Amino acid sequence: MKKILIPTKLNPVASEILTADGGYQVVQDASAPIAEQVAANPDAYGLIVRSEKVTADIIDALPGLKVIVRAGAGFDSIDFKYARKKGVDVMNTPGANANGVAEEVVAMMLADARHIVKADVSTRAGDWEKKNFMGRELTGKTVGIVGLGNIGRLVARRVKGFDCKVIGFDPIVNSEKVREWGIEPVTMDEIFAESDYVTLHIPGGESTKGLIGEKYIGMMKEGATIVNCARFGIVDEDALRAVKEEKKLRYLNDVYPKDAAGPKSMTDIADLMLPHLGASTFEANFTAAKRAAQELIDLDEKGDMSCVVNRDIPEGLERAYCELAYNIARLVRQLSGENSPIKLLETSFYGDLSPFSNWLTVSVLSGIWVDFDRYNDYKAAVNFMKDMGIEMFNREADGDKGYGNAITIDLTVENPEQGLKQYSLRGTLTEGVQAVSRINEFDRLYFEPVGATLFCLYNDRPGVIASISRKLADAGINIEDMRNPHNMKSKRSLAIIRLSDPISDELLADIKAEIDAHSATCTVV
């Protein structure tokens, strides 16, 4: 019998499913700290947790531990990298809480619009302030959704019941798929300029920190509302604080730096605050518990690793090629424009990499969409792309081309001015160093995709590099490396300049105008 420890308040369905399977002994206790329970059950084979922190010390205290299941989506409370070193699989249950969060968004909209909380307190106190609690109706309003994953799409379905106009933006989903969901695809600028309600459903982290700042908040209509049930840090609180009163904006919040009692930084600007209740429903708890148990059984009995989020590199594949796949994918995504919806992803894996195409595809996808975890498996990658409406095709590599162990990534995106546009990169390792060997029609480049790099595509003519150099020098930016290939057929040149520091959007626009470039992009890999 394999002992499964559940040191948390989780719906008993998990214990019931595991016990009924016959191969597990379940110990569940929500009253004692996890460390105490681990000490009392050192022979545990598996852990099922919610928000409990599973540290390296916890993992070391369980020498027979083989699997940890997070009954929920986020798994940053688990030291999953250390778990991998110790041979422990970590799994999660993505999507189990989606409906609970979506309904919370609508509940917060309605509660704020009709002053439910304040009116309840007032009426209980014996007052009758009907005139002071004049509200607004949700019906007919424009709801802008930033991020169209499971939760964003469910919010769209829910608010359509109020005859709302629903517009949405997701940097990876093409407009055709967005329309299939009954959402009008728009830009981020249009979301904030047109919406009565903006609800956020994007991941946290460095890529989105302070994303909703001065620019977007400044575009909002007077009296508009921001709902943040996504992650703390996405909204620049100081930027909101600066204009909130003047523009009569509303801010509804359910996310914090940590889930704990104590002062909250947004208290003065939040019109409604909840203690991270999105996933706190009986139904979400039941669904997450049920999935956690079934995933554990499927891992043991079927070898199903589709929900394992910390897989190890397979034998025979160098980790360096996973990094190469990730980095050139990051590069092609930035060159294509990170806000350009994706229509098609095509890959080719040459030489000894061909047998690992499924594994490397996950690295490619995580490079293109940085919030898709690199420890997911190919099945999860396929399901994600299908869900987002993106075609994915791995071409059979032609060994006669002599590319050696190389990776080609072709990304077709929607460009508002040019329609569908393809960006193609090939990369390899040269003496253990990553090298991009081709970008579109420019071949034999062999530059390392690291740091800040300026790419300028222009009609071939003398003096262009000198003009770029002057602009960079005036800004105090040093050139660390450079390639400047020409293509005789297209009569175009590509300036590839590695910089000492990233450049501002203003300087990038200035350089583009100065040399009359077809395109100018500064990437950071």
| Residue 86 within any structural domain of the chain | yes
CA distances from 322 to 326, 349, 366, 398, 458 (A): 6, 12, 11, 21, 32
**Residue span of the structural domain in which 289 resides:** 2-96+282-302
Separation between Cα atoms, residue 519 and residue 374, nearest integer Å: 30
User: 340 with 389, same domain?
Assistant: yes
Looking at this protein, which amino acid is placed at residue 139?
T
Which of 155-159, 351-355, 377-381 is predicted with the least confidence, judged by mean pLDDT?
377-381
Q: Are residues 433 and 497 in the same domain?
A: yes
pLDDT value of position 289: 96
The number of CA neighbours under 13 Å toward the Cβ of 8 is 20
The answer to the question of residue 309 being in a domain is no
Over residues 468-519, the pLDDT tens digits come to 999 999 999 999 999 999 999 999 999 999 999 999 999 999 999 999 999 9
Q: pLDDT tens digits for 199-213? A: 999 988 787 899 999
Provide the mean pLDDT of the chain. 93
Q: Are 331 and 295 contained in the same domain?
A: no
- pLDDT per residue as tens digits for the range 26-45: 999 999 999 999 999 999 99
Same domain, 87 and 105: no
CATH number at residue 57: 3.40.50.720
What's the pTM? 0.83
Same domain for 119 and 131, yes or no, is: yes
Q: Is the same domain home to 90 and 106?
A: no
* Domain membership flag for residue 312: no
| Residues 426-436 pLDDT 10s | 999 988 899 99
Beta bridge partners of 358: none
List the helix and strand counts (H, then E) for the chain. 17, 23
Tell me if 461 is assigned to some domain.
yes
Do 359 and 460 lie in one domain? The reply is yes
Q: Does residue 151 share a domain with residue 165?
A: yes
Within this chain, do residues 253 and 377 fall inside the same structural domain, yes or no?
A: no
Same-domain pairing of 89 and 102? no
- Whether residues 353 and 220 share a domain: the answer is no
Q: Are residues 215 and 238 in the same domain?
A: yes
Helix (H, G, I), strand (E, B) or coil at 478: coil
Q: Under a CB-based contact definition with an 8 Å cutoff, are residues 378 and 361 in contact?
A: yes
Structural domains in the chain (count): 3
Specify if 310 maps to a domain. no
